[in-house]
Amino acid sequence: METKERIKWLDGLKGLACLLVFVHHFLLSFFSAAYFGVESHTRLHGYDTYLASAPIGVFANGNFQVCVFLLIAAFLPAKRIMECRKEDLQDVAGRMLLKRYPRLMIPVFSVCALNYVILFLVNRLGLNYMGTELSYHGYSYFLHSLYDLFLVPDTGLLGPLWSIYYIFLGSVTAIALAIPAKKERWYLPLVYLVIARALVRQSIQFMPCVLGVMLADLIVNERVRIPWTKRRGILASVALIAGGLFLGGYPSYVKPENIYRVFSFINARVEQQQNVHIVYHSIGAALVFAGIYLWNKAGLFSVLSTKLFTFLGKISLGVYLVHQLWLTYLGNYFMDSLKASWGSYARAACLGFPVLLALVIVSAVVFRQVIEKPTEKLLGRIR
């Protein structure tokens, strides 16, 4: 069963992933060659272009970080369902389903409303530096923020909000898939793998959600019975994490011409070849998760369990939702101003990145206090 210490590292993993999502969007905004690999767009003498397809690019690969979030979003409710007593199952599952929509809707709608107000003000004051526009207007904008975001994958509002659809429906699906998970049903991990493979054909982005349920089943029901010594735990965790990071570094929108070409024979057999990176990122996220789990199970020191990363885990939703506001409305003006003064984007990033990161963290802390905590208190009354 999961212990309090392992919950800490899970919070830490969310905290690390949210930081790396910010890094990804920072690079996407100001060093796009690190994502798309277009040599003519390089601003770091080719180093950013190299990141687009190199395994080290995993730490700037936003799609991989989203897969980590989706896996955790499925693992946590699935684990809770599997650990509850049989007589409590209906009550626990019912309350989780009732809370799922408002738990996401209130923070998401708050950020969408803030985005609308900021854009209105910058337009009124003539400060719309990049000519930002909304895909929806007035009443339809707020209806879209309230409902459509959770039912349709969206790219028309703000940065990471496209993934809310997958986080919401993925966690609901996880609850349903976790209900049959009983210890005597030894074949369930195979069922989850079959479902994950089926999703590759149509709804590939839900793959990490199913893998999250499978990991919960393997851990809670102790499917893998191996006598783990400390040495075995270290070797297995290092191998899993290394393998997961390697898969997580698979380029998202660049055709690999390096070591990743070894996967070409697999790519040819994947139905959605334009999204094949999601397959590798999903498997990579699962391997990294399993490796970190074994590392902590071995009783080793985990940096993800430190106060810094658990703190980041607590504000991870705020960081995930609000960081694009700073990048959209301040980042471009700030970076271009610094570039004009200092002569290069590389120099501008030395100051622009930490300043924007600090603003994101402070605003995420405020978001946690003003929006998330009252929401949790309100939903705590649902019985």
Please give the average per-residue pLDDT across 110-120, as a whole number.
91
Cα 156 to Cα 317: distance, rounded to the nearest angstrom? 20
Q: Which residue has the tokens 């919401």?
A: 168
The pLDDT of residue 156: 64
Total domains, the chain: 1
Tell whether the model's pLDDT for residue 4 goes beyond 60: no
Q: For residue 124, what are the CA distances in angstroms to 63, 119, 147?
A: 35, 8, 28
In the chain, % of residues over pLDDT 70 = 95
Q: pLDDT tier at 189 (50, 70, 90 boundaries)?
A: confident
The pLDDT of residue 131: 63
Give the pair of three-digit tokens for residue 237: 């965790």
The pLDDT of residue 5: 41
Which region among 165-169, 205-209, 253-257, 308-312 has the lowest average model confidence (pLDDT)? 253-257
Looking at per-residue pLDDT, the higher value among 72 and 40 belongs to 72
For residue 378, the tally of other CB atoms under 10 A from its CB is: 13
Please give the average per-residue pLDDT across 310-325, as a whole number.
94
Rg (CA), the chain: 21
The pLDDT of residue 185: 83
Which region among 54-58, 266-270, 330-334, 374-378 has the lowest average model confidence (pLDDT)? 266-270
The pLDDT of residue 3: 40
Report the length, in residues, of the chain: 383
The distance from CA 378 to its chain's CA centroid, rounded to whole angstroms, is: 25
The pLDDT of residue 169: 92
Yes or no: say if 199 and 206 are a contact pair by the CB < 8 Å rule.
yes
The winner for highest mean pLDDT among 150-159, 346-355, 366-375 is: 366-375
The pLDDT of residue 155: 59
**Average confidence score pLDDT of the chain:** 87
The pLDDT of residue 243: 96
Give the pair of three-digit tokens for residue 71: 């896996």
Tell whether the model's pLDDT for residue 213 goes beyond 70: yes
Tell whether the model's pLDDT for residue 132 goes beyond 80: no
Q: pLDDT tier at 2 (50, 70, 90 boundaries)?
A: very low
Tell whether the model's pLDDT for residue 375 goes beyond 80: yes
Domain containing 280 equals 4-379
The distance from CA 262 to its chain's CA centroid, rounded to whole angstroms, is: 26
